[in-house]
Amino acid sequence: MCAVEAGKRGRRVAVIEHADRPGKKILISGGGRCNFTNIYCQPEHFISANPHFAKSALARYTPADFIALVEKHHIPYHEKAPGQLFCDRSADDIMRMLEAECAAAGVNIFLRTKINEVQRTTEFVVRAESVVFHAPALVVATGGLSIPKMGATAFGYDLARQFGLNIRQTKPGLVPLVLGTRDRSQYGDLAGVSTEVAVSINHHAFRDKMLFTHRGLSGPAILQISSYWNVGGSILIDLAPGRDVAAAIGEAKVRNMAAVRFAFQGFLPHRFATRWVDLHTHVAWNNQALAALDRQTHEWVLLPEGTEGYEKAEVTAGGVDTDDLSSKTMESRRVAGLFFIGEVVDVTGHLGGHNFQWAWASGASAGRVL
């Protein structure tokens, strides 16, 4: 996106790519359908040490701008969950579109080109194994640490440090959580069971599906909250958002374990309902016990042991400190002509197309001033 915008302005542009083809993460995203943007993308859908940083770029290049590009290339798409746009066919449509735009803008793409060294004299000198590039401006769009099997490395962070920029601590984002030994032994065999919950940490909350895995929890609600979770912290899960559990049980003619299980099976998958009730049983089902059970249902506290790591993380939270960058152009405040865009920056979007929109917007912002 950055290369296209710069190329359209008559700049000579080289995209240096160490993989054998560009956009590998685009191709695997959204189950191969690429959730390429979110209609409702706003700055509040992003996490950053500076919550205002993303505003300028997102305002300059909007979801409507990217949708117009998609429609220009006659790519069929659909809205899956509210606001989330996916290709009807495959993510390859988005890659072909970007490659076509690059070609039209005269952009040169160098594949299988591993960079050995970057220097700055009166210009930037980028040395690869078989070629040396000279340019007045250098854009770092290397992504984060997530999905290393796709080629992710710390190269972008290392380059930022080389030029004196600060790095906000990185961690896996939008990632499944791993439960402790006790919780795994109690719920691990429910792998594959899914239910709608509201999960929260402090004042951040998401209502969506939660999925049990062999090692812990996943699903959209868990992936969303994982970006806010830190080791040692707990998460709060409402298993029956908007429901009066005590009232549902109280309607039973007889208050016993069978009645409680039956009531829970009305809003939870049967296996999970039975397991959860058995683990939160009371000696007598009086009004006080029902109130306690109701409270536990809406405020189930779990202490994750960790995450599934960068291997399973969709994004990397943290990154190049936004204090060191211009929010309008993405240019380094310390080194003229040095830009950082996309995931390598300390701007992390929620699930649902927001991270792609940040990539397009930050790329366009830099490309328009190069």
C-beta of residue 106 within 8 angstroms of C-beta of residue 100? no
Assess whether 60 and 147 both reside in one domain: yes
Nearest CA to 218 out of 242, 198, 237, 194 is that of: 194
**How much is the pLDDT for 163?**
98
User: Can you give the length of the chain in residues?
Assistant: 370
> Alpha-carbon distance 253 to 250, whole Å?
8
CATH number of 28's domain: 3.50.50.60
Nearest CA to 211 out of 202, 201, 222 is that of: 222
**How much is the pLDDT for 76?**
98
CA 88 to centroid of chain Cα atoms? 21
Assess whether 273 and 320 both reside in one domain: no
Q: Which helix (H) or strand (E) is 171 found in, with range? A: strand 167-173
Assess whether 244 and 329 both reside in one domain: no
Assess whether 164 and 186 both reside in one domain: no
Q: What are the backbone angles phi and psi of residue 331, rounded to the nearest 5°?
A: -80, 145
| Sequence letter at residue 122 | T
Assess whether 130 and 21 both reside in one domain: yes
Nearest CA to 171 out of 53, 32, 49 is that of: 49
* Domain C-terminal end among 257, 276, 307: 307
Task: Tally the domains of the chain.
Answer: 2
* Domain C-terminal end among 288, 307, 326: 307
C-beta of residue 76 within 8 angstroms of C-beta of residue 87? yes
Assess whether 136 and 191 both reside in one domain: no
> Alpha-carbon distance 28 to 342, whole Å?
17
CATH number of 230's domain: 2.40.30.10
β-pairing, 108-110 with 84-87?
A: unpaired
**What does each of the 370 residues of the chain score in pLDDT, given as a tens digit?**
999 999 999 999 999 999 999 999 999 999 999 999 999 999 999 999 999 999 999 999 999 999 999 999 999 999 999 999 999 999 999 999 999 999 999 999 999 999 999 999 999 999 999 999 999 999 999 999 999 999 999 999 999 999 999 999 999 999 999 999 999 999 999 999 999 999 999 999 999 999 999 999 999 999 999 999 999 999 999 999 999 888 888 777 677 888 889 889 999 999 999 999 999 887 777 888 888 889 999 999 999 999 999 999 999 999 999 999 999 999 999 999 999 999 999 999 999 999 999 999 999 999 999 9
Whole-model pTM: value is: 0.95
- Whole-number average pLDDT of the chain: 96
Assess whether 13 and 34 both reside in one domain: yes
> Alpha-carbon distance 247 to 250, whole Å?
5
Assess whether 186 and 331 both reside in one domain: no
| Sequence letter at residue 216 | G
Assess whether 128 and 225 both reside in one domain: no
Assess whether 193 and 336 both reside in one domain: no
Q: What is the pLDDT of residues 293-333, one digit of tens each?
A: 899 999 999 999 999 999 999 999 999 999 999 999 999 99
- Can you read off the two tokens belonging to residue 313? 């993380």
Q: What is the pLDDT of residues 67-99, one digit of tens each?
A: 999 999 999 999 999 999 999 999 999 999 999
Assess whether 157 and 181 both reside in one domain: no
Assess whether 62 and 78 both reside in one domain: yes
**Full domain range(s) for residue 287:** 177-307
Provide Rg for the chain, Cα atoms. Answer: 24
Question: What is the DSSP code (8-state) at residue 191?
Answer: T
**How much is the pLDDT for 317?**
98
